[in-house]
Structure 1
Amino acid sequence: MPALPQAGLDLLFEVAQTHTGWQDRPVAPALLEQVLDLAKMGPTAMNQQPLRVIFVQSTEAKARLAPAMSKGNLDKTMAAPATAIMCYDLEFWRNLPELWPHADVSAGFRDKPEVARDNAQRNGTLQAGYFIMAARALGLDCGPMGGFDRGKVAAAFLDGRPWEVNFLINLGYGDASRVHPRNPRLPFARMAEVL
């Protein structure tokens, strides 16, 4: 495949930034489905696919989310057209016979909760990164954040499912006037070495 042109790199990385302000413009549920359908195509170990997402859009659902938000994240989350609760499924391994059909690898996780948790967290976080890129690729702005009470979110939304809350992403069409100047990034030499 050819490399993305500069416009694509700008959309995903170079110009894209975390958004904290939102236009009063709804995000269609079909677009959220499209984002997840694109994000799930990224690789995970043994095709584990532990990412699970709860999209919070309705007034009622936002009211359930509000008590869990930190003071600094409350207003922007309530104003966002959608908030994705990014979770990972601790029992992802139950789907492995379907997702990794050429070998039964589910026994490597069954009755091994710490191994399952480690894999779910790592691969679920990896998929959440794909989710951000997919959302940007489809024209949405993102505001990922960690300033909230995970226990309160779990109590309000997980309904006993074997999922763990990872982080939240506000989604919508950003208000460019509220974007902060980009913070510095480390240079290659301080991040990596080639051996």
Structure 2
Amino acid sequence: MTITTLEKLDARGRELVFTGARTTNSFADTPVTDEELRDIWELTRWTPTMANTQPLRVAFVRTPEGKERLLPHIAEGNYAKTQAAPATAILAVDNRWHDQIPTVFPIRPEMRDHFEADEAARSHAGHFSAGLQAGAFILSTRAAGLAAGPILGYDKDGVDKEFFPDGNWSTILVVNVGHPGENPWFDRLPRVPEDAALAWA
């Protein structure tokens, strides 16, 4: 089916995903199922990326053993909430994402060889598109009825060594996932005003 007329997300949908959604700082002990986590990925994978290359990869940490491996690499300020979250997603870029080009962008399979030969271009393009997907992952978590708590306070090298020792994936963001716990939100902080953020030409 080809969609030719776009519809606006209704007010409730906008509130759930954007205007009313908040970064979660505490989590309830309500379990999150693997099916719910797959639902987040199912939404995320439709994100636009350069030439449909889709370089984002996700490692879901949701067992006690997995958390024991992850927590030593989490900064003190993020430790308690990461420990409490029923699932933590390690978002990573696949450093060999270009190997998928003949499959995901079959009209230009030769692009694989271009990126194989140019490591700097490969890294830039991969991180750019994975960053787009990482933002969408947070919105997808909200759309799936769960709360997201992205954090940057972690030892990237330690996480990579522990979870991606072959070097094929590189961590770009860690996101705690679950249901909000007690006092989960900080007070809403101001947004950058329009006159400081927009330019018109």
Match of 2:9 in 1: 4
- Residue 3 of structure 2 corresponds to which residue in structure 1? none
TM-score (norm: length of structure 1): 0.97
1:22-61 equivalences under 5 Å are 22-61=27-66
Matched, 1:86 2:95: no
Q: CA deviation at 1:175?
A: 2.1
Q: Distance in 2 between matches of 1:103 and 1:115?
A: 17
Q: What amino acid is the match of 2:175? A: I
Tell me whether 1:117 sits opposite 2:140 in the alignment: no
CA contact (8 A) 2:60 2:90 kept: yes
Q: Is the 8 A contact 2:160 2:167 kept in 1?
A: no
Structure 1 range deviating more: 156-165 or 138-147? 156-165
After superposition, what is the alpha-carbon deviation per residue over 1:88-145, rounded to whole angstroms, capped at 9, x for unaligned? Answer: 0111000000000112211220121111111111100100111111110010100001
TM-score normalized by the length of structure 2: 0.94
Q: Supply the distance in 1 between the matched residues of 2:10 and 2:144 (Cα, whole angstroms).
A: 16
Residue identity matched to 2:171: V
Query: RMSD across aligned C-alpha pairs, in angstroms?
Result: 1.0
Q: What 5-or-longer segments of structure 2 have no aligned partner?
A: 1-5
Give the ranges of 4+ consecutive aligned residues of structure 1 lying more than 4 Å apart after TM superposition. none
Q: How many residues align?
A: 195
Alignment map for 1:1-195 (pairs within 5 Å): 1-104=6-109, 105-175=111-181, 177-195=183-201
Q: Contact (CA 8 Å) 2:56, 2:133: kept in 1 or not?
A: yes
Q: Among the aligned pairs, what percent are the same residue?
A: 33
Q: Which runs of 5+ in 1 are unaligned?
A: none
